[in-house]
Amino acid sequence: MIVLQLSDFHVRGDGSVSFGVVDTRRCLEEAVAHLKKLEAAPDALVLTGDLADDGDENAYRILRESLSPLAWPIYAIPGNHDRRDPMRDILAEWCPADRDVAPHLCYTVEDGPVRLVMVDTTNPGSHDGHCPPAVMRWLDKTLAKRPRTPTLLFMHHPPFATGLPVMDLPLENADALAAILRKNPPARLCCGHIHRPILSQWMGVSVVTAPAVSMQMELDLGEKGGDAFRLETPGYLLHHWKRGVLNTHVCQIATRTSFAGPYSFSRQETGDRRRETDENRSVVQRSFSGGEAAAYFSVSCFLFPVS
């Protein structure tokens, strides 16, 4: 069984760029072009939140029109940049939410050898993650229904400290989540939100965060880390289950990456900064003018500055 996890599209419905810099519509198109070339069709595509940049209805329509032609089963959960109501309306078939836990968009997909459990950790108007008691009761009951079933658990916000301080707001009610997962541990807890692949272990559970389809988080482990991004190579996760073994592969999307940045998530970039990005991109485009699939391997490139 193959599950592709794509995260953090940040699509804007009005044609503008995200955070004053990133053409996320183009990032989506590049991702779709990449997926169309895959030789093996996945069993499911899971979108782990921040589908839209500001919950704009048109962004969800753009996503639906872009991804539907793939004709694969698609499932989505919201991130802190999303709005549940337009997701429920416009992406209804991608969000088969369990009414018992409304208004949260939580549900399970039970038709493969690996169960997919989708948990909504958002709270309207809040950047950080929430695990309210109603959602935790639902999760506890859901996991207990089929104990020892191999499970991929998806939620937008990771529960562990990433070492990127600005992103490390504590997950509300994380203790309750840990207690539930201790009883019925998933094979892997798969998150978004961080815009960077991180592998970790949290309370005995194997955890991974996905790279973003859009901009990537700057790998800055200093005090101010977690508030800047670069136009690094975008990517996604491929979860592969075979004969009782689960492997998670970090995959890259072939693009003409500029590596421009770092740009601030909290300050909007305008004027000169945007021009700088465009110039960077065009330089890279020139240097790769003959190559269709030019891509860098970016993981850890910016951990240690070169002096």
Q: How far apart are CA 227 and CA 233, in angstroms?
A: 18
- As measured in angstroms, the least distance from the Cβ of 130 to Fe ion is 12
Residue of 256, 208, 297 whose CA lies nearest to 7: 208
Q: Which is nearer to Fe ion, 6 or 116 (CB)?
A: 6
Given a contact cutoff of 8 angstroms between Cβ atoms, the answer to whether 33 and 145 are in contact is: no
Q: Which is nearer to Fe ion, 77 or 139 (CB)?
A: 77
Per CB under 5 A, 80 contacts Fe ion = yes
Q: How far apart are CA 60 and CA 231, in angstroms?
A: 23
Q: Which is nearer to Fe ion, 64 or 127 (CB)?
A: 127
- As measured in angstroms, the least distance from the Cβ of 241 to Fe ion is 26
Per CB under 5 A, 50 contacts Fe ion = yes
Q: Which residue is nearest to Fe ion (CB)?
A: 50
Q: How far apart are CA 142 and CA 117, in angstroms?
A: 8
Per CB under 5 A, 120 contacts Fe ion = no
Q: How far apart are CA 89 and CA 85, in angstroms?
A: 6
Binding residue (CB under 5 A) for Fe ion from 12, 34, 104, 193? 193
Per CB under 5 A, 82 contacts Fe ion = no
Q: How far apart are CA 226 and CA 228, in angstroms?
A: 6
- Under DSSP, the state recorded for 133 is H
> How many residues make up the chain in this entry?
307
Binding residue (CB under 5 A) for Fe ion from 42, 55, 78, 79? 79
- As measured in angstroms, the least distance from the Cβ of 195 to Fe ion is 6
Per CB under 5 A, 8 contacts Fe ion = yes
Contact segment (CB under 5 A) with Fe ion among 4-12, 106-114, 130-138, 179-187 equals 4-12
Q: Which is nearer to Fe ion, 142 or 192 (CB)?
A: 192
Place of tokens 């492997």: 247
State CA 175 to chain mean position distance. Answer: 23
Place of tokens 């592709």: 4
- As measured in angstroms, the least distance from the Cβ of 155 to Fe ion is 11
- As measured in angstroms, the least distance from the Cβ of 8 to Fe ion is 4
Q: Which is nearer to Fe ion, 115 or 157 (CB)?
A: 157
- As measured in angstroms, the least distance from the Cβ of 282 to Fe ion is 26
Per CB under 5 A, 25 contacts Fe ion = no
Give all strands of the β-sheet with 228-230 in edge-to-edge order.
216-217, 228-230, 263-264
Q: For residue 234, say if its preceding peptide bond is cis, omega within 30 degrees of 0.
A: no
Per CB under 5 A, 48 contacts Fe ion = no
Contact segment (CB under 5 A) with Fe ion among 7-15, 26-34, 130-138, 215-223 equals 7-15
Q: Among residue numbers 133 through 172, which ones bind Fe ion (CB under 5 A)?
A: none
Q: Which is nearer to Fe ion, 51 or 114 (CB)?
A: 51
Q: How far apart are CA 191 and CA 200, in angstroms?
A: 11
Given a contact cutoff of 8 angstroms between Cβ atoms, the answer to whether 254 and 34 are in contact is: yes
Q: How far apart are CA 155 and CA 267, in angstroms?
A: 27
Residues that bind Fe ion (CB under 5 A): 8, 50, 79-80, 193
